[in-house]
Every structure is written in C-alpha cells, then in structure tokens.
Chain A
Amino acid sequence: MRDRQTVAACPYFVMENAGYCDESFNSLQSGTSDEDMVEIAGATLDFSSTDDVPPLDRDYVSGYTSYNGVTEGVNGVPKLMDLLDEPLPGVGTYEDFNTIDWVREKSKDRDRHREITNKSKESTWALMKSVSDAFSGWLLMLLIGLMAGALAGGIDISAHWLTDLKGGVCLNGFWFNHEHCCWNSNETTFVERDKCPQWKSWAELIIGTAEGSFAYIVNYVMYVCWALLFAFLAVSLVRAFAPYACGSGIPEIKTILSGFIIRGYLGKWTLVIKTITLVLAVSSGLSLGKEGPLIHVACCCGNILCHVFTKYRKNEAKRREVLSAAAAVGVSVAFGAPIGGVLFSLEEVSYYFPLKTLWRSFFAALVAAFTLRSINPFGNSRLVLFYVEFHSPWHLLELVPFILLGIFGGLWGAAFIRANIAWCRRRKTTRLGHYPVLEVLVVTAVTAVLAFPNEYTRMSTSELISELFNDCTLLDSSKLCDYINVNITKSSNELADRPASTNVYMAMWQLALALVFKMLITVVTFGMKVPSGLFIPSMAVGAIAGRLLGVAMEQLAYYHHDWVIFRGWCSPGADCITPGLYAMVGAAACLGGVTRMTVSLVVIMFELTGGLEYIVPLMAAAMTSKWVADAIGREGIYEAHIRLNGYPFLEAKEEFSHKTLAMDVMRPRRSDPPLSVLTQDSMTVEDVETLITETSYSGFPVVVSHESQRLVGFALRRDLTISIENARRRQDGIVSTSRVFFTEYTPPQAPSSPAPLKLRSVMDLSPFTVTDHTPMEIVVDIFRKLGLRQCLVTHNGRLLGIITKKDILKHMAQMANRDPDSILFN
C-alpha cells in the first residue's frame, strides 16, 4: 500500500501561480489523497542537486543496454534506471480544482480488472481475491445505505426535538419532543390534540401561567432567542471547522461528478459539521429544507467509505460511480422514495451513469430506506412526515386548475431563480459578503419575528406541508378543516363537500400571508453560509397555493353546483373536490419550476402518495411548469449556481449550434507565442524544469522535434514534476544536464555525459486529436461523451494547437454573449 510519501511537499493551486511550500520531511501519511492536497515537488524548490559531478564508481559504458528499462550493471545486478515497473506514488493523481482524465481512469480500471482476472486462474487464493473484488462494490453499497440511513434517522429525530425546544420542554424526559411527550397522556382532547400537562411552554416555566398576553410575549421572546442561538451556533461551527459545509451542496456535487476535484468537499469534517449544523439550521425556523444537504451527507458517507476499498480509493472514475449511487441514497432517505432517488441521481446529479450503477444505486437506496424505517423516527413506521393516504378520484375537468397551478409553478420558479441569483451575486461581489455571520443572524431574526404571529409559519415547514396535504375528514379538528357539517347521516368517513365556516376563511387569509412571506424570505435564505436546502420551501409555496385554489374550487362547486362545468359530476352530496390533491399538485409544480426535474419529480410525488391515481395530474402540472419556466429562463437553480460560481461544467443537455471550427477555438491564437512543447529526445532536465516553471499549463504535448512537430504523446505537468523530483532524489547521476528521453529506446551515451532520464512511462501515448477543420459541434460532442480534458489540434498531420475544456466553456460563453472571464477554474 503506497501510503507514505517522503518527498518534499508543495501544494499547488492553479488559480494562484505562486504556490507555497511546506518543507516537512516527516512521513506524511496521506493515504487519503482526497483529504489533504497530495504534496508534490514544487516549482519554488531549489532544483540544484547536491551532486553535480557524477560519482566515479559507476560504469556507464558497459552497463548500458537499456532493454525495457532494466539495465545490467557490470556485476550483472540489474539496475533500475527508470521506474517503469513501479508507479510512483503521486503519479496519476490530480491537483485540487482540476478536472480528471476519464479515459485514463477507465483504462486503469480495465487494466486492473484484467490483471485480477488473469491471475485468478492461477490459484484458489487468487480466485477468492477476484470474487471478493467483484463483491466489494455490493458490500460498499450496503455500507453506504446503512450509514446514510442511520445518519438520516438521527438528523430527523434531532431536528424534531430541537424545533420543539423553541416552544417548550418535556418534563417526562427532556429528550422528547412535543408529540412524543404527550404520547401516552390521556389529557389530549379532540380539539386540542397537543395539550398535556407534561409539556410546559417557556412561559409556563418562567412566569407560571400559559394564558394571557404576557405569556404570549414571553413565548415570542424565547422563540426568537432560541432561533438566534441555533443560527449563531450553526454559522460559527461552519466557519470554524468546515467552510465547505455551507449551502446546498448539489451544484458542487454535480460538478464533482462531472470530473472536477474539490479536495475536502466530501471529507470527514465536512460530514460531521454538515450533519450537526443542518439540524441547527432547520430548527432555527429559517425557510430552508434538509433534502439537498442530505444528498451532500450521503455523498460524504460514500466518499469516506470508498477509502476502505482499494479499488475505489485509487480510481477517480469508479469513485464517481459510487458517488452517483450515494446521491440516490440521499434522496431516498429524504423522501422515502428509493426509485425517485435513483431517477433523481440519473437525471439531475450524475454526468456519466453506467447501467451497472442503476442496479447498485437501487440496492443502496433500498438498504437506506429500510434502515431508516427500522429507526422509525416518526413513530408510525413511515419514512416521511407527509405521507398521504387518500384515494379520492378526480375528474378530467379538474385538469384546468391543475394546469393553472403548473403555470404558477413555472412563473414562480423562473422568478425565484432570477431573484436568488441576483442576491447571491450581490453577496459575492459587494460588501454584503464580508459579514456572513451577521447576515445569518439578521435573516434569522427577521424570519423569527415575522413567523411567530402566524401559526402557519410558526410550525415547521414539513408539518405545514403535511397539514396541507391532508384531506379533511370528520376526524380532523384543525382550523383548516372546520367546515359546517350539514346533514351528516352517512356513517362513512368520506364526506360530501361542505360549506366553509369563518375559521376556514381565516385560515385562508393566514395561508395567503404565509405564502407571500415564504416566497420572499426563501430568496434571501438559500445560499447563506449554513446548510440550506430548497425542496421543502418550494413545496411549501406550491402546497399553500394549491390548497388555496382547492378550497376555492370546493366552495365554488358547493355554492354553484348548477353551473355547466359542475353539473355532470359534482352534484350536491358528492365528494368531488379534494383540496389536499390540489396542494400536492401545487407542490410538485413549484418544485419542478425551480429545479426543472421531470421524471424524478413525478416518481417522488407518486411514491409519497402511494397511489397511481394521481400520476396524470402530477405529470400535467410538472410538464406545464417546466415548459413555462423554460420559456422564461433556460437554467434550473443548480445550473444557475454552477454558472455563478464559474465551475467547469460542460452542460450535457445544451446543444451547441454554432458553426465555428476547431481552429477558431484552439490555443495558441495568432497573436500568442507558439505552443510550448517538449521534444522526445533533445531536451535536458533543466530545459524541462524551466518550461514547467515559466508556464502555468497543466500539460505539454511531446513532439518528435521542433521542426517536424509530429506528435508523440502528451505529458501532464504534475506527473513530470513528481517524476523529475523523484529521479533527482532516488536515481544515481540525474543532474540538470541529463537528457530527458520520451522514446522507447535510448541510444547509448558517451561515458562523460550524465545518465539519461527516461520519462516515457508518464507520457500518455494516445492523446486525442482532431484536425483544425473539425466543426466545434463535433469537438464539443467528443468532450462530453468521452470526458476529455484537453484535445490536440493537428493540421496536415502536424501539431498545431490545443483545445482544453476551459477554452470550450469560454467559447460557449462568448457565443451566448456572456462574460467569458466568468469561467474561473481549469
């Protein structure tokens, strides 16, 4: 296991040309090459070696038949003049904020698999090894499911308890939330289902009474204080321990899954801090959800567990397959929807999704759902708080209001994305971004102060959605279900449409105010420096709008049942309109408008309701909202955030429709200096090092000679630096004037010249090339489908230039009249 690296350390950033070096020669046990930036030799180290004069006791004349890298010395002892046999630790790894080379990773995995298969025929032990290697993927999925399910259960239980802590304490045991405190009590009444003597509100504890305006004020003040405390703790912990734990996480995970490297984003500390602060942020009453952060938590679990298995630790492409499955697990535990989770991972998050991953993701999602169910956080063996169970039918004419809800969802989604991106851009560029802690506290204070008076914003958003999804029966006694009960002679629990009482009208007013409040405050909340998700607030907005429309339709049908549109199917005494269904459809429409999910949204909602009856309304609303939102703005919220941050994400869904050619995009342009190339046998170590230090390119093509410019291969900067540094330290006789050879056979050297350095092993012998007249459509297609990082451009067989992924993104930005300098990373 190549864990130890005893070379000098110098982490790089591509962004800054000056790196800083850490001359620590202690053994850096950086087996987790993900956590710490794997430290390699840096350009600012002193390159002069201590022994410039080759030692006299080496015999270079006779010992120089270089035959595949092993030279025989005088004594017949094989000298390893290069390190072809053993790959250096560090070669083949990537720097932070860089893109991986998918082709290389996949071929590495195929080689490894071939080697294991070949060896498995030799002995039983090797056969066992090959079986366990095949089985390791499934074991990893099982572990991810267990860990993510356990964490999600813990998060749910803690979030419920902390949310209720803002209102009071349970005297039976402080760890019970309000519902569980009154679980066994016989003092709950039909009208007040939450009342029991064991649960004391803060007013009762502080001043002794629970009624009266003074008690109300004390409750108000305690609510705001607790909310501020939770938010302050959340943002301080994020700032102190893991700044990567803020935000939703989905845009960055999308970028990571497309091949980008962000070290530490899926690490141990990020996992711990995200779990702890997510509970705090949700409990503080802010208008955010926990679904997006749960996906990040699940991917962290996946990444951490990958380090246990060599097959996944060393190969970035295989690791991303596991991360796709982990994203599915995240959605599965958030919604209790395993199939929806897999489809969400396929549609929204993953970039390359091989079919093998489909089955494994489903397995992991099921394991996680099963683990969550066995922990039973909601006390009724349901996975999600808002699981609905009604099965009332709907009529075809109701598609009209459903489509109206879809239009509302699309409009709101597009408006929300515009407003949120504008706010986040302001946070990035102006002074607003210098005070993150203060910003969080101010937003929390405003939210808490405005949310407490309205009972529908005081309760947690999940509870609100659950209440809105619920269809009113005789057994309900909430304000929303307070209909005037006319003529109840039927003994079944299905009710006819009834006229609303004043309570219902008051509830409608409160809900309308809550709608406006939530629409405005979510714009400011999403993107703050605490873990924040977007699913639940969008669903809340949609559910409120849907319920309002549903109750309006219901009352219209009751009072005007003789109108043409109602006459056929909504006779008096029939139960025709279900406001709960309208709330569900509204929630789906708004969520679809913001995230532009299609199939996964419908499947998640269908798994939430457990009935096939409502697929058509859900699909109608989802499609309408997506079309309306796409007509206004092309991108969903996650793509918009990716573009805001300048990540190098090549959008797989967009079509490139311009008629430019490869030579319009390639570098060097006409006014630039010529392409920096390495020659295959005429450069010295010093020349190579100068080239590396003077330029900041991350790779160099290798040509036969400067005159012919015929292509040999491509060498990455990081691999070159590691190999040269290692050769200087380990190999005998490598000095600044040593020749560097990229050829297969090195010619015999004169006895006075220093030993040659063979670097053929770090060179990629099959770089992708296109001709200069290739249309850019094809080039973009090649980049997308193969996951390339760079592509060489040739003309008449001679090397002309290079196109990198960043060039393509800049070109696409230019074609779309956007600022090409907004692409920040490489």
Chain B
Amino acid sequence: MVYETVTNPRYQLFSFACFLMMLSTAEVTGAKNSEDIRCKCICPPYKDVFGKIYKQNVSLKDCNCLHVVEPMPVEGKDVEAYCLRCECKYEERSSGTIKLTIIIYLSILGLLILYMVYLTLVEPALKRRLFGHSQLIQSDDDLGDQQPFANAHDVLSHSRSRPNVLNKVEHAQQRWKRQVQEQRKSVFDRHVVLS
C-alpha cells in the first residue's frame, strides 16, 4: 500500500501541498514581530477620571497596570484602587498570516473570475469566429461526437509538437465541462438535487 501511494503522482502532489501549508503556518507563527504583541489595559471611570484604554508593546511579564498605564491619572494612595479596577490582557497576533491569507484568497478569487469570464465570454466568441455559427450549435448538441472539438482545439493551439499532452488536457477539460453541465442541469434546471 505504501509503495503504491508513494509512486502515485497524486500522492506526491498532495504531500507537497501539505508540506507547503505546514511550512507557511510554522513560519508565520514562529516569527514574532514587535508590532504583533501588545498589552491592552482597560480602565473604567473612577471618581472624576474618565475611562481610558492603554496599549503598549510590552512582553507578558510586564503586562500589568503599573507598567502600561502611563501617565497615571491619579495620585498616591488612589493608584492601587484605580489599578484594581483596570483589566490588563496580553494579546498576540500574526500579521504575516493575515497578509498571506488575504493575498492568497484574492489571487485565487481573481483567477477564478478570469477563468469564468474566459469560459462564458471569450471561448464561445473565439469558436464562433473560427468555425462559424452552425458548427457551434451542432457541437453543443452533439455531445458524443468529439471530432469537431478535437479539430477545433488543434487549430486553436497552433502546435502539434506534443499532441498527447494537449489532447489529454483538452479531453480532461471537455469531460469536466460536461460534468459541470450535468450538475447544473440537475441543480438549477430540473431542481432534482439541492432544492
């Protein structure tokens, strides 16, 4: 079982992806920017002093009222009573993780939007331009006949140097499109699955 999984290219791809994920997680949690730690003290109103929030970039051992609340608004013996009401919390965050996540998310979203625009607008326009309107209709209906598509994509790609790989990719893409079309029919048109 292990031998089979190790030689499986899918397994290799997955292990690489998992490794990348873990590496990025480890890296961003390991680094501690000084801007990414803080001690936040919330002090409620006391006598005639208004409530205030104090923040400082100190470490965990210094995170208490005496270190963080500066300048101290009350004097002498009131300080202890004032500090007893304040609540100080130590917080950490990882701005690197946030930045990385948002950038990854936006790039994937952008790629998907571009691909969607290509599939819905650009590809039919290209095909129509190359093959005329009639063949487009015919090849839409006749799902079993692969020939027009094979010809079309050969011509579009302008290269016959590695027909096997391109044919495979084209074939996989056609199969995927058919599946999505079937799914769309079940879900959106016939309302058979997923109300």
Separation of A752 and B176 alpha carbons in the complex (Å) = 48
Give the residues in chain A near B102, CB-CB below 8 Å.
Answer: 157-158, 161, 175
Q: Which bucket holds chain B's interface residue count?
A: 35 or more
Whether the Cβ atoms of B183 and A129 lie closer than 8 Å is no
Whether the Cβ atoms of B194 and A241 lie closer than 8 Å is no
Whether the Cβ atoms of A191 and B191 lie closer than 8 Å is no
Interface string of B164-187 (1 = CB under 8 A from A): 000110010001100110011011
Give the residues in chain A near B137, CB-CB below 8 Å.
Answer: none
Whether the Cβ atoms of B188 and A529 lie closer than 8 Å is yes
Whether the Cβ atoms of B51 and A243 lie closer than 8 Å is no
Given A374-B29, A376-B97, A133 contacting B53 (CB threshold 8 A): no
Partner of B108, one of A183, A247, A276, A824: A276
Give the residues in chain B near A474, CB-CB below 8 Å.
Answer: 44-45, 85
Cβ-based interface call for A104 (8 A): no
Whether the Cβ atoms of B112 and A241 lie closer than 8 Å is yes
* Interface-lining segment among B1-9, B59-67, B124-132, B153-161: B1-9
Given A243-B184, A374-B25, A424 contacting B97 (CB threshold 8 A): no
Whether the Cβ atoms of B53 and A190 lie closer than 8 Å is yes
Partner of A24, one of B51, B81, B171: B171
Partner of B183, one of A147, A189, A243: A243
Cβ-based interface call for B138 (8 A): no
Cβ-based interface call for A22 (8 A): yes
Given A157-B97, A252-B194, A644-B195, A264 contacting B179 (CB threshold 8 A): yes
Separation of A23 and B142 alpha carbons in the complex (Å) = 12
Whether the Cβ atoms of A641 and B87 lie closer than 8 Å is no
Cβ-based interface call for A379 (8 A): yes
Separation of A311 and B94 alpha carbons in the complex (Å) = 39
Whether the Cβ atoms of B25 and A150 lie closer than 8 Å is yes
Interface string of A469-511 (1 = CB under 8 A from B): 0000011010000000000000101000000000000000000
Separation of A804 and B164 alpha carbons in the complex (Å) = 45
Whether the Cβ atoms of B29 and A308 lie closer than 8 Å is no
Whether the Cβ atoms of B191 and A433 lie closer than 8 Å is yes
Separation of A424 and B193 alpha carbons in the complex (Å) = 12
Give the residues in chain A near B113, CB-CB below 8 Å.
Answer: 233, 237
Cβ-based interface call for B79 (8 A): no
A residues 95-129 with Cβ under 8 Å of B? 128-129
Cβ-based interface call for A246 (8 A): yes
Cβ-based interface call for B105 (8 A): yes
Q: How far is the CB of B144 from chain A (nearest CB, A)?
A: 6
Q: How far is the CB of B32 from chain A (nearest CB, A)?
A: 12
Give the residues in chain B near A15, CB-CB below 8 Å.
Answer: 192
Whether the Cβ atoms of B188 and A240 lie closer than 8 Å is no
Give the residues in chain B near A20, CB-CB below 8 Å.
Answer: 143-144
Cβ-based interface call for A427 (8 A): yes
Given A157-B98, A474-B44, A527 contacting B2 (CB threshold 8 A): no
Whether the Cβ atoms of A173 and B192 lie closer than 8 Å is no
Cβ-based interface call for B120 (8 A): yes
Whether the Cβ atoms of A475 and B44 lie closer than 8 Å is yes
Given A154-B104, A180-B93, A436-B188, A427 contacting B1 (CB threshold 8 A): no
A residues 1-56 with Cβ under 8 Å of B? 1, 15, 20-24, 26, 31, 35-37
Given A190-B50, A242-B180, A173 contacting B2 (CB threshold 8 A): no
Whether the Cβ atoms of B8 and A1 lie closer than 8 Å is yes
Give the residues in chain B near A191, CB-CB below 8 Å.
Answer: 51
Given A157-B98, A433-B191, A184 contacting B55 (CB threshold 8 A): yes
A residues 406-460 with Cβ under 8 Å of B? 424-425, 427-429, 433, 436
Whether the Cβ atoms of A129 and B1 lie closer than 8 Å is yes
Most buried by B among A22, A191, A305: A22
Given A157-B101, A191-B51, A310-B4, A184 contacting B38 (CB threshold 8 A): yes
Interface string of B103-129 (1 = CB under 8 A from A): 111001100110010011000000000
Partner of B1, one of A143, A186, A311, A428: A311
Separation of A696 and B192 alpha carbons in the complex (Å) = 20
Cβ-based interface call for A645 (8 A): yes
Separation of A348 and B151 alpha carbons in the complex (Å) = 51
Q: How far is the CB of A422 from chain B (nearest CB, A)?
A: 12
Given A36-B179, A190-B52, A644-B195, A379 contacting B91 (CB threshold 8 A): yes
Q: How far is the CB of B116 from chain A (nearest CB, A)?
A: 5
Q: How far is the CB of B187 from chain A (nearest CB, A)?
A: 4
Q: How far is the CB of B7 from chain A (nearest CB, A)?
A: 9
Whether the Cβ atoms of A186 and B55 lie closer than 8 Å is yes
Separation of A22 and B81 alpha carbons in the complex (Å) = 82
Partner of B105, one of A150, A193, A276, A371: A276
Give the residues in chain B near A264, CB-CB below 8 Å.
Answer: 179, 183
Q: How far is the CB of B119 from chain A (nearest CB, A)?
A: 7
Separation of A236 and B121 alpha carbons in the complex (Å) = 13
Cβ-based interface call for A337 (8 A): no
Cβ-based interface call for B11 (8 A): yes
Give the residues in chain B near A22, CB-CB below 8 Å.
Answer: 143-144, 146
Find the B residue at minimum CB distance from A142: B18
Cβ-based interface call for A666 (8 A): no
Give the residues in chain A near B93, CB-CB below 8 Å.
Answer: 180, 183, 376, 379
Q: How far is the CB of A800 from chain B (nearest CB, A)?
A: 33
Q: How far is the CB of B141 from chain A (nearest CB, A)?
A: 11
Q: How far is the CB of A185 from chain B (nearest CB, A)?
A: 8
Separation of A400 and B57 alpha carbons in the complex (Å) = 48
Cβ-based interface call for A244 (8 A): yes
Q: How far is the CB of B168 from chain A (nearest CB, A)?
A: 7
Whether the Cβ atoms of B5 and A308 lie closer than 8 Å is yes
Give the residues in chain B near A23, CB-CB below 8 Å.
Answer: 144, 146
Give the residues in chain A near B97, CB-CB below 8 Å.
Answer: 153, 157, 375-376
Q: How far is the CB of B181 from chain A (nearest CB, A)?
A: 9
Find the B residue at minimum CB distance from A428: B191
Partner of A243, one of B55, B109, B180: B180
Find the A residue at minimum CB distance from B119: A240
Give the residues in chain B near A279, CB-CB below 8 Å.
Answer: 105
Given A157-B98, A241-B116, A491-B85, A246 contacting B21 (CB threshold 8 A): no
Whether the Cβ atoms of B192 and A158 lie closer than 8 Å is no
Give the residues in chain A near B10, CB-CB below 8 Å.
Answer: 31, 307-308
Give the residues in chain B near A146, CB-CB below 8 Å.
Answer: 18, 21-22
Give the residues in chain B near A129, CB-CB below 8 Å.
Answer: 1-3
Given A305-B14, A433-B191, A493 contacting B87 (CB threshold 8 A): yes
Whether the Cβ atoms of B99 and A189 lie closer than 8 Å is no
Cβ-based interface call for A339 (8 A): no
Find the B residue at minimum CB distance from A131: B2
Give the residues in chain A near B42, CB-CB below 8 Å.
Answer: 190, 475
Cβ-based interface call for A560 (8 A): no
Most buried by B among A150, A175, A279, A305: A175
Give the residues in chain B near A37, CB-CB below 8 Å.
Answer: 179
Partner of A154, one of B29, B105, B167, B184: B105
Separation of A35 and B176 alpha carbons in the complex (Å) = 9
Given A150-B21, A477-B51, A491-B85, A180 contacting B95 (CB threshold 8 A): yes
Find the A residue at minimum CB distance from B181: A243
Separation of A4 and B188 alpha carbons in the complex (Å) = 33
Cβ-based interface call for A814 (8 A): no
Separation of A305 and B171 alpha carbons in the complex (Å) = 24
Find the A residue at minimum CB distance from B24: A150
Q: How far is the CB of B129 from chain A (nearest CB, A)?
A: 22
Find the B residue at minimum CB distance from A373: B29
Q: How far is the CB of A491 from chain B (nearest CB, A)?
A: 5
Give the residues in chain B near A428, CB-CB below 8 Å.
Answer: 191, 195
For the complex of A and B, the 8 pairs showing the least CB-CB separation, nearest first, are A190-B51, A175-B102, A379-B93, A474-B44, A243-B187, A428-B191, A243-B183, A424-B195
Q: A146-B18, A376-B94, A641-B195 known; 16 other A-B pairs, CB under 8 Å?
A: A23-B146, A132-B1, A136-B2, A146-B22, A153-B101, A154-B101, A188-B53, A190-B52, A240-B120, A243-B184, A244-B194, A374-B29, A376-B97, A379-B93, A644-B195, A824-B192
| 5 A-B pairs (CB sep. < 8 Å) | A176-B95, A190-B44, A246-B194, A309-B5, A375-B94
